[in-house]
Amino acid sequence: MRINFTDKTLLTYVNKGIDKNTLFTDITGLRVSIRPTSNQQILNNPKLGSMVGIHFKAIFNKDNKRYTFNLGSYPVMTLDEARKQYLEMAVKFKSGKYEEEQEQKLKAVTFGELYEEWKAIKFTKISETTQKKYNSVSSQHLRSLLSYPVNKITPNLVIDLLNDYLIKEQKYSTAEYVASLIRAVLDYAVFKQIIVVNPLKGILNFMPRAKTTHYQSFSDATLERDMKELFKAFSTQDHKLQCLLFMYFFTLLRSNELRTITFDNYSEDSLTVKTKTLDEFRVPLSTQAQKVMQYMIKNHQREDNPYIFEGMSKDGIISKNTLNKALSALGFKDRLRVHGIRTCGRQYMQTIPTAKESIIELCLSHVVGSQVQQAYNRGDYYNERARVMQIWCDFVEKCIGDSFAFITD
Does the global pTM surpass 0.75? no
Q: Name the percent of the chain lying above pLDDT 70.
A: 87
- CA–CA dist 48, 16 (Å, integer): 14
SS3 for 205? helix
Domain ranges, ordered by start, for the chain: 2-95, 111-206, 220-408
User: By mean pLDDT, which of 140-149, 168-177, 323-332, 362-371 is the weakest?
Assistant: 168-177
Query: Which uninterrupted H or E stretch holds 409?
Result: none
359 Cβ contact list (under 8 Å, min separation 6): 381, 384, 385, 388
Class of domain 220-408: mainly alpha
Q: What is the pLDDT of residues 66-87, one digit of tens each?
A: 888 888 888 888 999 999 999 9
Opening angle at CA 322, ends 320 and 324, nearest 5: 85
Could you tell me how far CA 308 lies from the centroid of its own chain?
A: 25
Nearest CA-CA partner of 284 in 391, 408, 403: 391
Closest CA to 249 of 218, 289, 283, 276: 289
Q: Has residue 397 got a pLDDT over 80?
A: yes
Residues whose CB falls within 8 Å of the CB of residue 320, separated by 6 or more in sequence, listed in order:
255, 256, 259, 338
Q: Does domain 2-95 have CATH number 3.40.462.40?
A: no
Equal fold, 111-206 vs 220-408: no
In whole angstroms, what is the distance from residue 232 CA to residue 401 CA? Answer: 8
Length of the chain: 409
Pick the CATH number of 111-206 from 2.40.50.100, 1.20.1260.10, 1.10.150.130, 2.60.40.150: 1.10.150.130
